[in-house]
């Protein structure tokens, strides 16, 4: 497959023919919807062997991702070349990868791109998903997907614009031990919520008046990544903005990717339009913000004191309570179970407000009260002893993490049922299962030791995985990603929650600015009238 999808005149002419175009589009939608439905069944049943895979019409090989001809019932393999051979022999023009929706044209001898296909692909997947998902109100149908149709004002702005594919893979230059910055930026670029926000021009660096604005740097980054320039890009201005905002990250020494991640989130939040300190719905808090609940229980009287704190990510220990490395359950699930296990407190740490006794046992338990749209996990691989900085070292314990995870066992609603098997798929979690399902889209890896290490990362677009090593971008697969030594993992919610009646902060800000401008005009007019009145009185 070529690095960049191409516009195809053959597809344009076929779609112009209503009869043949209807046949092609109908078959395209059906094969994409079939694969979406099949994937949903695999995810829910978690029994891949029970779902039969289609076979190649030429070599009879089972196909994990069949290439379906759009002009006949044939489906074949790509690696063996049988799908292309079929198109040539039968004079057919197009076949589609049912997994990704990519279309191959036999006349172009390449994969092609058309904006109509993007819309069809998204509509087919969302429609298939909507028919399978279960929600809180079973009697009330889920709101169906509505494709975006530009209004008259948007159509005027878009006049003469050329549609491009919303996928780009562009390496980032190492500017002097800046691999820590590059891996985080690549995970930002492949974060679907951040991508949709900045590609929708919600923050325009040409109109922003702030100095050293990290949101402007994000806008520039997306503009560069999605430009037609295939050469690696050097994020120089982003690095300079980081140094100014976070002096502790300045210079060309080894830096921590997680530390830069948190710093970048804070700076994007501070420079977002409409950001607030309380109940902020800027792009960062709308994407990463969740809530942690801490329950402290008095073992004498049973009184429970709960506090809720905001969170942008979750840091997980790789060592047991005694400081030993994890011997057996070195998995993300095991780390989360340890994270939500009760922990005994010393008498000096807690005094019960109900029974008023300090010298007794108490336990503290963490749980996730509110799940964010994007979950970011950090594994604590770097040990720093306060008394001896030279004793800092890296924990190389391998961690297994899944391609998808159900977060229900670690939420405040279910963590209290400690006597039940919360890992069981039949456990009745509160609400629909879709509330808790997350899919992996990015992983940051660290190779080597603390002072001589190097960061790389994996990132996913749709079902395609790629490995990023600064300016080098290579195709990868899910197995390579899952077997890597993860330092940070990023998961996106499979079904996003939304409030149809809420107004984004950037819209509220624009409305407030318009109101302030009107008020200022009224004040100026009142002041002008007052001057005229004073002049008239002085003349009298």
Terminal CA-CA length for the chain: 87
Q: Which DSSP string corresponds to 149-163?
A: ---HHHHHHHTT---
Strand partners, 476: 465
Alpha-carbon distances, residue 238 vs 211, 213, 278, 288 (angstroms): 13, 9, 27, 21
Cβ(114)–Cβ(9) below 8 Å: no
**DSSP secondary-structure letter at 425?**
T
Nearest to 332 by CA among 465, 495, 489: 489
Alpha-carbon span 231 to 21, nearest angstrom: 37
Per the structure block, which two tokens stand in for 161?
Answer: 């614009």
Buried b (16+ CB within 10 A) or exposed e, 367-387: bbbebbbbbbbbbebbeeeee
Query: Residue 78 burial by CB count (10 A; 0-12/13-18/19+): exposed, middle or buried?
Result: middle
Alpha-carbon span 295 to 24, nearest angstrom: 58
**Owner of token pair 């799908």:** 83
Query: Residue 468 burial by CB count (10 A; 0-12/13-18/19+): exposed, middle or buried?
Result: buried
Which residues are catalytic, by number? Answer: 179, 454
Q: CA triplet 475, 478, 482: central angle to 5 degrees?
A: 120
Strand partners, 456: 445
Alpha-carbon span 477 to 221, nearest angstrom: 25
How many of the other CB atoms lie within 10 Å of CB of 71?
A: 17
Alpha-carbon span 25 to 20, nearest angstrom: 9
Alpha-carbon span 493 to 434, nearest angstrom: 9
**Owner of token pair 């069809």:** 120
What length does the chain have? 540
Per the structure block, which two tokens stand in for 70?
Answer: 């759009």
Nearest to 489 by CA among 448, 447, 460, 449: 460
Upper half-sphere CA count for residue 99 (Cβ side, 13 Å): 13
Strand partners, 461: 464
Per the structure block, which two tokens stand in for 174?
Answer: 């190492």
Alpha-carbon distances, residue 136 vs 33, 43, 431, 433, 515 (angstroms): 24, 20, 6, 10, 39
Per the structure block, which two tokens stand in for 21?
Answer: 């175009």
């Amino acid at each position: 497959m070529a690095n960049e999808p191409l516009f195809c005149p053959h597809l344009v002419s076929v779609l112009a023919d209503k009869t043949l175009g209807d046949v092609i589009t109908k078959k395209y939608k059906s094969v994409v919807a079939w694969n979406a439905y099949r994937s949903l069944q695999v995810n829910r049943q978690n029994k891949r062997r029970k779902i039969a895979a289609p076979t190649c019409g030429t070599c009879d090989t089972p196909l994990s991702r069949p290439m379906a001809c759009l002009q006949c019932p044939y489906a074949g393999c790509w690696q063996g070349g049988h799908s292309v051979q079929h198109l040539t022999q039968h004079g057919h023009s197009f076949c589609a990868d049912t997994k990704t929706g990519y279309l191959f044209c036999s006349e172009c001898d390449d994969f092609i791109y058309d904006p109509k296909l993007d819309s069809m692909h998204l509509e087919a997947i969302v429609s298939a998903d909507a028919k399978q998902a279960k929600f809180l109100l079973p009697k009330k149908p889920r709101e169906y997907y509505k494709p975006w149709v530009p209004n008259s004002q948007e159509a005027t702005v878009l006049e003469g614009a050329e549609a491009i594919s919303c996928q780009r893979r562009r390496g980032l230059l190492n500017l002097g031990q800046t691999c820590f910055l590059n891996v985080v930026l690549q995970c930002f670029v492949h974060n679907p919520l951040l991508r949709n926000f900045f590609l929708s021009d919600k923050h325009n660096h040409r109109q922003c008046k702030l100095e050293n604005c990290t949101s402007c740097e994000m806008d520039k980054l997306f503009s560069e990544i999605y430009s037609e320039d295939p050469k690696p890009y050097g994020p120089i201005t982003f690095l300079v903005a980081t140094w100014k905002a976070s002096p502790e990250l300045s210079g060309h020494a080894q830096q921590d990717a997680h530390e830069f991640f948190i710093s970048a989130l804070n700076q994007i939040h501070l420079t977002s339009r409409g950001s607030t300190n309380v109940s902020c719905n800027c792009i960062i808090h709308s994407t990463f913000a969740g809530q942690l609940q801490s329950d402290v229980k008095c073992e004498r009287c049973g009184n429970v004191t709960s506090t809720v704190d905001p969170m942008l990510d979750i840091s997980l220990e790789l060592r047991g309570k005694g400081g030993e490395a994890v011997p057996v359950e070195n998995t993300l699930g095991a780390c989360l179970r340890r994270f939500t296990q009760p922990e005994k407190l010393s008498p000096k740490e807690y005094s019960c407000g109900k029974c008023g006794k300090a010298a007794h046992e108490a336990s503290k338990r963490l749980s996730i009260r509110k799940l964010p749209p994007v979950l970011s996990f950090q594994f604590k691989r770097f040990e720093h002893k306060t008394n001896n900085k030279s004793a800092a070292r890296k924990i190389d314990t391998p961690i297994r993490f899944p391609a998808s995870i159900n977060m229900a066992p670690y939420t405040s609603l279910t963590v209290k049922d400690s006597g039940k098997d919360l890992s069981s798929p039949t456990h009745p979690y509160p609400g629909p299962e879709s509330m808790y399902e997350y899919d992996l889209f990015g992983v940051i890896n660290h190779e080597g030791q603390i002072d001589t290490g190097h960061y790389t990362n994996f990132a996913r677009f749709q079902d395609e995985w790629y490995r990023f090593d600064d300016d080098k971008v290579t195709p990868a697969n899910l197995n390579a990603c899952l077997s890597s030594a993860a330092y940070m993992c990023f998961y996106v919610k499979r079904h996003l929650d939304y409030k149809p009646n809420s107004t984004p902060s950037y819209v509220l800000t624009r409305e407030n600015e318009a109101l302030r401008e009107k008020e200022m005009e009224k004040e100026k007019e009142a002041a002008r009238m007052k001057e005229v009145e004073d002049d008239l009185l002085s003349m009298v």
